[in-house]
Structure 1
């Protein structure tokens, strides 16, 4: 009997998912933003008590609940763009020590992860691996933070996981009150933007932009993957309101590569097409 479980399945009520990655089962979270309180204090003058221990407790709870073989962080484990220091450095060290005591960590490098590899990899070795910013493929699942174009091996996966956007929706009640809710986006990827970027054919169709760099091989092995855009794990990190006019995407391949996608709340509620909410 064929196993019909999805390769990537959200954890109900949480900004996290479980993914089957070859012989391993991975817990996947995105945009942890360790040390965000110190960053908000410096960047905006906002004073908030640190939730560092709260964040670690939530990760511990998810590890207990899902019992994975690995933790995959889809970028922006840290908050500062440059080298982490102060409260952020301490939170990152405590996070890595707590998690690697249980499972190895794969950090898909995001735009906020400068200096993390130099800080943590020497201490934790192969228990804490940082990938290239263009992503990594584990089994049949491709992972990329989303601030850069994915590499070819990521695009040739059966499903692609991305982050960076912190997608959220604004929900209004009957009397005009509104609230923000973190959301998932899921929908089929279009191959043309990636083929143009890589200078490759897709199923015999050449890239529409003939100025693209020459193809190193004839064709992109396109499997019509679904894209899953993860909500931010950190609920203090803001986000892209996908159903509010004037809110643009941050990833270089969005929204062109995702012309149709549904939005889902963390509890699994399907809201329908994100661009018509």
Structure 2
């Protein structure tokens, strides 16, 4: 049974820390000293990558992606942009059309707000390309924490400091759900995942007792991919496992819900 309540994470007394933007694969986050617009898995230059990797010819949507992201900055009045990894697409480093798209994108963003990139597994060379640009910050591979919210891409274990907040935001998974109608037809929809975390896998990874963690029962928010051409993991289909090294072991499965971009709550992601 679904509803359309959407979700937001944080204290009901102080307001939400993370608030998805209904209809878009993005969220606003209160960072302690402002409001950040947060997106994951932009995959600039994906069309060039698909041509090289799979022989698929698609017209570039670079301009549309950039306009969509800049429009979200305008709508939210955010004063910072956080990219949760895979800003670029080619694992071996950007060139050609991908490099052009990244240059146009970062130029337009940095004219408006500071940008923090939490590097993902596709971001080889992106940091070097923009090192020294005013307003551009490269986070550690294990993520960063701004106020009470931690940010990581998800392809590596987050640092202990990143996990010391109230919410952990990650990308990398490109979560999606397969929805079937009454006659057996199906479609894929991008989705959010949100639920609490078990501390034990993190304590085991660091070789410490749970009591030694600065643990505030954080919620995990897994962002859908901003790029709608980047594929995804069908989280409700057997055989399609999650990718992060701490998932699914650290998830409280029966309390981790999937939500569509329009805010529809689908219930526990395993049983959608």
TM-score (norm 2): 0.94
Match of 2:7 in 1: none
Question: 1:8: which partner in 2?
Answer: 18
Match of 2:86 in 1: 76
Cα distance per residue 1:112-150 (max 9 Å; x no partner): 00100111123x23x111111100001110000000000
**CA apart distance, 1:26:** 0.3
Query: Is 2:251 the partner of 1:251?
Result: no
Aligned to 2:213: 220
Tell me what 2:53 maps to.
43
Residue in structure 1 matched with residue 233 of structure 2 by the alignment: 240
Q: Any gaps of 5 or more consecutive residues in structure 1? A: 204-218
Structure 2 regions of 5+ residues with no counterpart?
1-11
Any idea what SS the aligned residue of 1:152 has? coil
Distance in 2 separating the partners of 1:82 and 1:131: 19
Measure how far apart 1:194 and its partner are.
0.3
Number of matched residues? 259
User: Are 1:52 and 2:45 counterparts?
Assistant: no
CA RMSD of aligned residues (A): 0.9
**Over residues 163-182 of structure 1, what are the superposed CA-to-partner deviations in whole Å (9 max), with x where a residue is unaligned?**
10000000111111111000
Which residue of structure 1 aligns with residue 104 of structure 2? Answer: 94
Deviation per CA, 1:89-123, whole angstroms, max 9, x where unpaired? 0000000000000000000000000100111123x
For the pair 1:134 / 2:161, whether they are aligned, the reply is: no
Aligned match of 2:38: 28
Take 1:39 and 1:139, find their aligned partners in 2: how far apart are those partners?
36
Q: Does 1:189 align with 2:197?
A: yes
Give the C-alpha shift of residue 221 in structure 1: 0.8
SS at match of 2:202: helix
Name the counterpart of 1:212: none
| Structure 1 position 247, deviation (Å) | 0.3
Q: Which residue of 2 aligns with 1:146?
A: 154
